[in-house]
Structure 1
Amino acid sequence: MRIILLTLFCCYLFPVFSQTKQDSLEIDLKEKVVIAQNDSLKLHYIVELTKKVEKRNVDEARSLMKEALQIIKDNSYNSNYFLKKKALIIDALGKYESIQKNYEKSLDLQLEALKIRETLGDSIGISQSYHNIGMLFRYQKDYEKSKSYFFKAIPIRQKYLDSTKLARTYNMLGVSYYYNKQNDSAMYYYELSRNYYPTAFGKARASENIATIHYTTGNYDNAIEVYKKNIALYKSENYTKFIVNSQMHLAKIYSDLGKHQQAIHYIDETFASAKKYGNTAKLPLMYQLRSHIFEKMGNYRYALGFFKTHKYYYDSIFNVRNAKKITELELNYKFQKEKQADSIKFATEKRELELKTEVKQARSRLYILLLLLTAVIFITLLLIVNNRRRLNQERYKKEQFEKELLDEKLKHSTYQTKQLIADNKMRLQFKQEFLAKLKKVKQYADAVDISDFQSLITDLSSQIQTESKLDSIEDNIDQIDEEFNEKLRTLFPTLTKSEREICALMRMNLSLKEIMIIRNVTMGSIKASRHRIRKKMGLTREQELEQAIMDLI
């Protein structure tokens, strides 16, 4: 146990030196940003700085990208160089939103970047956007959409022979099929990915996914072979952070096979690698796996001890500084225990350390609880706001629909009113003329000829026929407006609205006189309109206007 604790202490010290080197690179890039002589250089250094910063602080990386984007906006740069940079920046902002699970905002940004790249005809950039959007849908477990975007990216990357990026897309396509429980298709694309990767490291990463399928389908021997080859490669090429993962996979497989001694061997190697390379992120999982192995062996005492240690680090992982302090206290406790095993002072100090540890654990649990509570409150408020916004949108759409419906009813009522006024005018004029003729007949009753009565009968019959036609207007007006008017507008776009209305009345077999009365214009105006209609419709002298109109529908 003392060796393990010393290992952990060394593991915590290693990142400090690594971080110091990282900080010097960031400082150098920050100085270059400040002294950059023009905006293009400044943007370049900001982008390079962001690549360093985003690995440890997404919020800081987002701020840098927003600063770069503002430079482009403030100066209204529209050259291809700056537009490409703009697309790259927006793409990165979308990635940061995705990391923080703001998927809707991330998708909007990714689509905006894609639109810029499509405008520029930047095929390589377009393929990158397709790949990123595919990744976004994969994170949301929408594997069908994810696959569709990966398939869009593949032909472009094949065309430009970008083997590394093509291999990466094939690999992610395989992942989408794997999570969609389509192992055969997943295996096919993993194999393609491994073939296209130009480096041994890339091939090893694809092989790990193949090993995962072997493991989940019970093909343990093939999985073991892949992991062992990868460990040898990672060690030879000094890919330190991937060694721990592969060793843990081997330990898990041997544990499932009931080969506990081999499982313990690989979990011990995992701890040794963590000590050597400073990879402390997997400590809780290492202790959990070790507890699981001893539990399967029936050694419940060790299983319980390792599980407590796993829980201890898991509870402390949200606060690295506290975790380091706890490790220091544990080291002091263990060393003092060996020196003062029989002393009362040791027992007192042991209790004090236990109390401090319990307090720190309780504090960590409280922090986690407060964090979860804050997240629940935030999500609840977000749901309430979204729900209110949705209800407001639905209410607005309903109001718009009702307004449009009222407008239509108003238009229809106005049209009917105009028709009734025209009809009333025509009836009134006829009655006035008919009354005048009757007065004349009465005045000259003795000299009235039978032909005069015949004229009155003819006029009355004509009026009845006209009213019959007008009655049919109301029944057919909607159909005429929708079909005949649209036909006229399509075939003869130069016709005015007034000329189309006259054509519609002629379509109903109304005479020029009847049209004159309905339109409330002179006969000369109707004849002039009729002449213009013939000209716009391109009719010859032999062609009848009325027949041409009747043939339209």
Structure 2
Amino acid sequence: MRLFLLVVFYTVIGTVFGQVPQDSLVIELRGKVENAQNDSVKVHYLIKLTKKVEKSNIGQGRELIMETLGIINDIEIPNDYFLKQKASILDALGKYESRQINYQNSLNFRLQALKIREALKDSIEIAKSYHSMGMLFRYQKEYDKSKFYFLKSLEIQKKNIDSAQFARTYNMLGVSYYYNKQNDSAMYCYKLSRNYYPTAFGKTRPNENIAAIYYTTGNYERAIEIYKKNLALYKSEENNDFIINVQMHLAKIHSDLGRHQQAIHYIDKTLFYAKKYGNTSKLPLIYQLRSHIFEKMGNYRYALGYYKTHKYYYDSIFNVKNAKKITELELNYKFQKEKQADSLQFANEKQALELMTEVKQARNRLYIVVLLSISILGITLLIIVNNRRRLNRERFKKEQFAKELLDEQLKHTTYQAKQLVADNKMRLQFKQEFLTKLKKVKKHGDDVDASGFQSLIVDLTSQIQTESKFDSIGDNIEQLDKEFNEKLRIQYPDLTKSEREICALMRMNLSIKEIMIIRNVSMGSVKASRHRIRKKMGLERGQELEQAIMELV
């Protein structure tokens, strides 16, 4: 326990005293800014202060750079020095906008910087502008445009070679080729970049990109070897950003190779470095990769949890409102730190103020939660009501469609029955005329066998009497109305369409034989249908089917 307390004590002391030089330098620069005798001196120290502050606080760095820009803009006729500084400031603003994924604003700032540099005819600075625009289009994944600007930058740099800048541009050109799946061109650029970098630390950048090509082409062990060499160099230089990037690459490769424990080892170390050194911009990628590793392990519960954490950090980092609030809180904290006193009264007042602030924030959070809950409930109820209305409308439309379909079927049946009646009338007329002629023949033909004619006359008479009943169908067919069919369908839903049609014909007092002729079926088929209708309607043995049908009218 004592050992643990000692470790914590020395860690805190080391952190506090480790910050003193940086804070002292910032205070010194602020003093020089306040005591500057003219604008050129003030701009000079503001730019130095910005470069120092932005390493730990991007929000404050942006505010300082905007203050510097304001000073230059207030000068009626700025000289070349101020114009050159203004171009650098606009480039820096473009960088800030890129980090916030505001690429349109970023491009606007960078184009303004390029315009100033072209007016000054400063070739070295123009080359830097082209390089920064190439970076912007690379972030937007417009790799052809990024290559165009990188090549323009290199063309200018060849006349005034700055080896470090030359190496950086070739390296980024290689990255654009790499993302365009032109690995040979990318490898060529990386090797040129490595040759131009003057320091071993600089060479790690193209080496890291060469390792990425080895990774994508399946040469995992060669990629791991390069990444480990770079990691050792980054640790010796204490460059935490590069340490985080390399450890993420190693975690991804080991995960792809199925070495899940090694992958977890590297991703845990990456998460430790990111949290320890405040590199929150990497947290979404770290948790996304962590989710990917556990997904490949089949541990979907943890994979889902880490993915939700990834979404949380991603949304929070790119929320501009939250970023401004964080910057404001950091400014307030620094102001309080500079103005704090050792008196007990000040400490008590500070504690009371913090408590009031927490209470107020808690109350505001409660109001927000309640408001959100009410809004969600209201939206849910509205969705439910709208869904019910929609379902009712759809059900009504379906019923209307079914009813219209049934009416059409009934009209078709009526049309067929009318056609049958018309045909029957023609047959009846023919048989009547034929019977009349036979009677005349019998009357005047003494030599003809009278008994044969008499039998033929009897049969024809019977047939005419039977078929004459069909003539009444034409008068009654219109009674096959929608109301009767709807009553059958509602009261006896088990009846089929064919059975309902037979009920409609029975309702017109047609016999089984007549129904058989109209429907063009056998006598047995009609009787079987009548039996099924009786059964489905639940009629008792002594109850007449025709009577039950007529009672429905």
TM norm structure 2? 0.50
TM norm structure 1? 0.50
Highest Rg: 1 or 2?
2
Q: Point out which structure has higher relative CO (alpha carbons under 8 A, 6+ apart).
A: 1
